[in-house]
Structure 1
Amino acid sequence: MNDTIHCNTTDLQKYLHFIYAVTYTVILVPGLIGNVLALWVFYAYVKETKKAVIFMINLAIADLAQVLSLPLRIYYYLNHSWPFGEFLCMFCFYLKYVNMYASIFFLACISVRRCMFIIYPLRFSATKRRFDLYLSVGGWFIVCVSCLPFPLLRQRDSNTLPMNTCFSELPLVPLSPAAGITMMSLAELMGFLVPLALVLTCSWKTAACLREKNCVLQDSGEKHKAFKMVLSCALVFLICFAPYHITFPFDFLAKSNKVGNCTFHRAILKGHPITLCLASLNCCLDPIMYYFTTDEFKRRLSRQDIPESFQLHRKFSCTNGEEEKPL
């Protein structure tokens, strides 16, 4: 790892720009519509919904934040130029990783909460909802701080790169092997392996509880819906985030010029962006998960219920306004 090599990768730029532009264009509209609808449903009916709705709201916020940055990314990959300034470049780059690790965090939280609900349904109360809120705030803080190295480890060298270069095409800051291995290990362990273990454990425990005839939650419909939610979280986890974290250490070594074979070096630089595109698909898969695993989401988006929903919302607003006037 002490010997560095330099492979010719200039021809990879068109390939990377093409797959990124296509992927982000495909997920932009469905991701935007799906997450806006999710926030509307969960916010308007937060008192009616239950179980893991607070975590779903935060997951939708994380997905929507990334979707809103996609037009700038699409512009860059189509025009091969970034005219929006260095700060916005680094912020969009940073936002991508904040979305990914916030999604991982909240998917794990949803799985744990649903698993606890099906095993210990009587323990879910307003106190638990407040705890979910505090946990969400703490999760956002940890994720935002932990993702700072992604933009901070990028450097702009005006001698070798044009000023309109952005995102992952910026070279990495040189790191010692010990520092690089430590950072990769922490990112893999805390950012992926621990949440993955939680999600898979919750899936196994939920399935085991459903097989028991003396399970506390006797409503078979509720049990089935809870299992679908936990299983959906696991599938999104494995489809979107597992491939990225498998190739992430190799990509880090390749971009640090620590890979001694140019063929393997090029294969990594071609394969890792595909896994990054898969990670971006969670913006579209999460709303699909809400629809098929959450009765409130499906019911509120039905044709018959949408007009009633607006009338109910206006009625509550007027009622609250009349009650607050004397105060």
Structure 2
Amino acid sequence: MPSGNFSNCSRPFDFQHTLYAITYTAIFIPGLLSNSVALWVLRSFITKNNKAIIFMINLATADLAHVLSLPLRIYYYINHSWPFKHFACLLCFYLKYLNMYASIMFLTLISVQRYIFTANPFKAKDWKRRYDVGISICVWVVVGTACLPFPLYRSSGGNTSTTSCFADLGNNQINMVTMSVMLIFAELLGFIIPMTVITYSSLRTRTQLKLNSMQSMNRKGKDKALRLIITCACVFFICFAPYHINFFFYVMVSTNAIQNCTAQKIILTFHPISISLASLNCCLDPILYFFTASEFKSEMARRSSSMIHGRLMSRESASSI
């Protein structure tokens, strides 16, 4: 997040505009289509007894919000100029981090819920859908509030041009105490705790599966639960772990706590790469729906068949006139 006052030996950012333009262009169409289809299909499960559907809908919503902001990002990184309002820049900047931390929270909740319901089937029967709705609202309020400092501490003042945005924005001055609190908060609550919870849920579900390997009826459900949790873990470690591991050192470089030129160049070079990886979650999250829920695939196939049948009937009606 912080731009900082980097030394002359540590500014290897010439490639980042090209990297962002390529990454966001590659993500936009797949992310838009997959998350739109996911929301279209998942909403049909709201009235059914499917676990984690509410969390999946919120996850797809978070991804879609970020994807819809990508055209403005692509325009900026191709043209190197921001002709839109400064508020639009900060909003796109905010949606990036909102998507990241909302996705982390919902991936964690999906993992925890599926593990608990797999280990304790009776809890699943007593669990009400409104509980998931309440938890989701709390997540959006907490994450939405926690992400506000990211755009609030950005500015267009100082040496930053009014046509600059995103990675080229200046940073308002922040004292070391505030910076340390923000860093600890982001790393602990946004990465370390979710990583621990997701890892624990994955390992415990795998153990449960082995303990009940002789119970064929239980095994099928546990296999699906294990696939879901492992997919959550893979998305988390591929997309969010590199960013948060590098982010700690990035802050150290921005505050000149790390002064070795070689270390600075490595950290600052990897920073845009880690941000690009974080954006890939918009395309990887739909794997949760497509490849871990047989009901989702069946419903998608049914809807596709209905659409094709409807178009064929329309053509037949038109040709008969």
TM-score by length of 1: 0.87
Kept after mapping to 2: 8 A contact 1:290/1:297: yes
How has the CA–CA distance of structure 1 residues 64 and 300 changed in structure 2, closer, same or farther, with 3 Å as cutoff?
same
CA deviation map 1:121-170 (0-9, x unaligned)? 12224643211110000000000000011111112225x22210101221
Aligned match of 1:315: none
Return the alpha-carbon distance in structure 2 between the equivalents of residues 81 and 256 of structure 1.
27
Kept after mapping to 1: 8 A contact 2:42/2:57: yes
Return the alpha-carbon distance in structure 2 between the equivalents of residues 310 and 188 of structure 1.
48
RMSD (Å) for aligned C-alpha atoms: 2.3
Matches within 5 A, 1:206-217: 206-213=205-212
Matches within 5 A, 1:1-327: 6-7=7-8, 12=13, 14-48=14-48, 50-125=50-125, 127-158=127-158, 160-213=159-212, 218-302=217-301, 306-308=304-306
Return the alpha-carbon distance in structure 1 between the equivalents of residues 262 and 93 of structure 2.
27
Return the alpha-carbon distance in structure 1 between the equivalents of residues 225 and 154 of structure 2.
42
Residue 255 of structure 1: how far off its partner (Å): 3.1
Residue 95 of structure 1: how far off its partner (Å): 0.4
Kept after mapping to 2: 8 A contact 1:39/1:61: yes
CA deviation map 1:256-310 (0-9, x unaligned)? 44432333223222111101111100000011221110112211222x5533489
Return the alpha-carbon distance in structure 1 between the equivalents of residues 231 and 34 of structure 2.
16
TM-score by length of 2: 0.89
Bigger mean CA deviation after superposition, 222-231 or 44-53: 44-53
How has the CA–CA distance of structure 1 residues 257 and 213 changed in structure 2, closer, same or farther, with 3 Å as cutoff?
closer
Kept after mapping to 1: 8 A contact 2:90/2:151: yes
Kept after mapping to 2: 8 A contact 1:49/1:296: no
What 5-or-longer segments of structure 1 have no aligned partner?
Answer: 312-327
Letter in 2 for 1:298: K
Return the alpha-carbon distance in structure 2 between the equivalents of residues 56 and 32 of structure 1.
16
CA deviation map 1:18-77 (0-9, x unaligned)? 000000000111100000010011112322350110000000000000000000000000
Letter in 2 for 1:276: I
Return the alpha-carbon distance in structure 2 between the equivalents of residues 151 and 172 of structure 1.
9
CA deviation map 1:96-143 (0-9, x unaligned)? 000000000000000011111111112224643211110000000000
What 5-or-longer segments of structure 2 have no aligned partner?
Answer: 310-321
* Identity across matched positions, percent: 45
Kept after mapping to 2: 8 A contact 1:121/1:216: no
Return the alpha-carbon distance in structure 2 between the equivalents of residues 217 and 47 of structure 1.
28
Kept after mapping to 2: 8 A contact 1:155/1:170: yes
Return the alpha-carbon distance in structure 2 between the equivalents of residues 216 and 120 of structure 1.
15
CA deviation map 1:179-232 (0-9, x unaligned)? 222210111001111111111111111111101138999432211111100111
The count of corresponding residues between Structure 1 and Structure 2 is 306
How has the CA–CA distance of structure 1 residues 62 and 310 changed in structure 2, closer, same or farther, with 3 Å as cutoff?
farther
Aligned match of 1:320: none
Residue 10 of structure 1: how far off its partner (Å): 6.3
How has the CA–CA distance of structure 1 residues 305 and 174 changed in structure 2, closer, same or farther, with 3 Å as cutoff?
closer
Letter in 2 for 1:6: S
Return the alpha-carbon distance in structure 2 between the equivalents of residues 165 and 272 of structure 1.
19
Kept after mapping to 2: 8 A contact 1:30/1:284: yes
Return the alpha-carbon distance in structure 2 between the equivalents of residues 11 and 248 of structure 1.
16
